[in-house]
Amino acid sequence: MSGPSTDAPRRGRGVGGRPRIEDVAAAAGTTAITVSRALRQPDKVAPETRQRILAAVEALGYIPNLSASALASRRSGIMALVVPTIANSVFAETVDGFSEVAGRAGFQILLGQGTYSAEAEHRLLTALAGRQPDALARIGIVRHDETRALLRRTRIPMAETWDLTDEPIDLVVGFSNRDAGHAMTRHLIRRGRRSIAYIGSDDDRAAARRRGYADALEEAGLHPAAPDIRVREITYGAGRRALRALLQLAPEADAAFCANDVLAVGALLECRKMGLAVPDRLAVAGLGDFEIAQELTPALTTVRIPSHRIGAHAAELLLARIAGETIDRRVVDLGFEIVERESA
């Protein structure tokens, strides 16, 4: 009535009243080790024994303590996944693919959020590593050298994703954000655009896309239509405001390359509101190929990213690592694809 401390300890039960493996063994007339085997390698236990054990598990409502299991076996059964943000849906497909493959293989997902400040990320990754995950994946490339060193030292199989690098901490699965930005900008140029602006967010991947944009302009002897327009939040509203800002800064711009589809959709909606003809007066291009891109009128020209496959493939590679298989390609480029629709 007045708290757990007044409960008499139950006979043959662990703290909190939860049965332990010993309790199951006693109920089944065998020992802990055989119970452990019956649960993990059923074939190695006589059918009758197994039967009695499973009955006892059922009767007692036994749930193995995975912390104890992890400590003893040195396999945690956990895969950690670090994402920049959950609120934004950009990475949802990747998380989904990762979770699907990892879950099917019996792993649980430890989710880490936030990779903005170097210190916060270092702390987060340290804490996650403390859980001894059997593998760790992160959206994006880890930038901070100290953190990279820490992760290398732990020797936890690790996948960086959503971009490429020649020297991953362990593995990297993604595509070249720089090349994607480059390809889309070239597409705009090929379509006759000469005054192309950049609208982007404030993260590493957007920065790489911007580099591709700048390179493509330079190769074509063109100049940016305006100073970069950078938004803090990735929302439709931010895309709208960015578009308005662009028209202020460079009324003569004939194309806007947006570093992601959310911003592009916002820009597109603002154009419609202002009665600005897309693509005749202004071409708008995005990156990501979210579902909404194809549903709008005009439909959004964008870059398709294998978001789900990035997650699934990273998980598969990590499973192979865990299984001790040799991985010959540590850098996996899943590519991207220009999807030409109506807006550019």
Please give the residues from 59 up to 78 whose contact with DNA meets the rule CB under 7 A: 62, 64-65, 68-69, 71-75
17 binds, among DNA, its own copies, none (CB under 5 to 8 A by kind): its own copies
Q: Rule CB under 7 A: is residue 240 a binding residue for DNA?
A: no
Decide: 225 and 253 in contact? Cβ < 8 Å: yes
Say whether 138 sits in a helix, a strand or coil: strand
20 binds, among DNA, its own copies, none (CB under 5 to 8 A by kind): DNA
Which residues, in sequence order, are CB contacts of 182 under 8 Å at separation 6+?
212, 213, 215, 216
Chosen from DNA, its own copies, none, partner binding at 320 (C-beta under 5 to 8 Å by type): none
Q: Of 11-19, 240-248, 255-263, 305-313, which segment contacts DNA by CB under 7 A?
A: 11-19
3-state secondary structure of 146: helix
- Number of amino acids touching DNA (CB under 7 A): 31
CB 304 within 8 A of CB 340: no
Which parts of this chain interact with its own copies (CB under 8 A)?
A: 3, 15-18, 61, 63-71, 74, 76, 78, 81, 85-89, 92-93, 95-96, 99-100, 103, 108-114, 126-132, 150, 153-155, 235-237, 240, 265-266, 269, 272-273, 291-292, 295-297, 308, 324
Going by C-alpha positions, the residue among 303, 307, 341 that lies closest to residue 179 is 303
Rounded-to-10 torsion of CA 335, 337, 338, 341 = -150
Binder of DNA out of 2, 5, 43, 280 (CB under 7 A): 43
Please, which residue, 91 or 213, has the CB nearer to its own copies? 91
**Minimum distance between the CB of residue 226 and its own copies, rounded to whole angstroms?**
23
Residue 337 binds which entry of its own copies, DNA, none, CB below 5-8 Å type-dependent: none
Angle value at C-alpha 26, between 60 and 59, nearest 5 degrees: 15
| Partner from its own copies, DNA, none binding residue 61, C-beta < 5-8 Å depending on class | its own copies
DSSP-assigned states of every residue in 64-126: --HHHHHHHHS---EEEEEES-SSSGGGHHHHHHHHHHHHHTT-EEEEEE--SSHHHHHHHHH
Q: Which of 4, 10, 32, 224 contacts DNA by CB under 7 A?
A: 32
Question: In the bound complex, what is the minimum distance in angstroms from residue 170's beta carbon to DNA?
Answer: 21
Question: How far is residue 110's CA from residue 316's CA, in Å, rounded to a whole number?
Answer: 17
**Residue among 151 and 171 whose Cβ is closer to its own copies:** 151
Locus of tokens 């030409």: 340
CA-angle at 262, arms to 253 and 279, nearest 5°: 35
Bond from prior residue into 279 cis (ω within 30 degrees of 0): yes
Dist. CA 80–CA 112, nearest whole Å: 7
Residue 21's binding partner out of its own copies, DNA, none, with CB under 5 to 8 Å set by partner kind: DNA
- Of the residues 10, 33, 126, 218, which one makes contact with DNA according to CB under 7 A: 33
Q: Which is nearer to DNA, 76 or 177 (CB)?
A: 76
| Residue 34 touches which member of DNA, its own copies, none, C-beta under 5-8 Å by kind | DNA
The CB-of-162 to its own copies minimum distance in angstroms stands at 16
Cβ distance to DNA smaller for residue 60 or 317: 60
DSSP β-ladder status, 171-174 and 135-139: unpaired
C-alpha 149: how far from chain center: 21
Shortest Å, Cβ 39 to DNA: 7
> Amino acid identity of 333?
D
Rule CB under 7 A: say whether 22 interacts with DNA.
Answer: yes
Question: What are the tokens at 74?
Answer: 């040195």
List residues near DNA by CB under 7 A.
14-15, 18, 20-22, 30-34, 36-37, 39-40, 43-46, 48-49, 62, 64-65, 68-69, 71-75
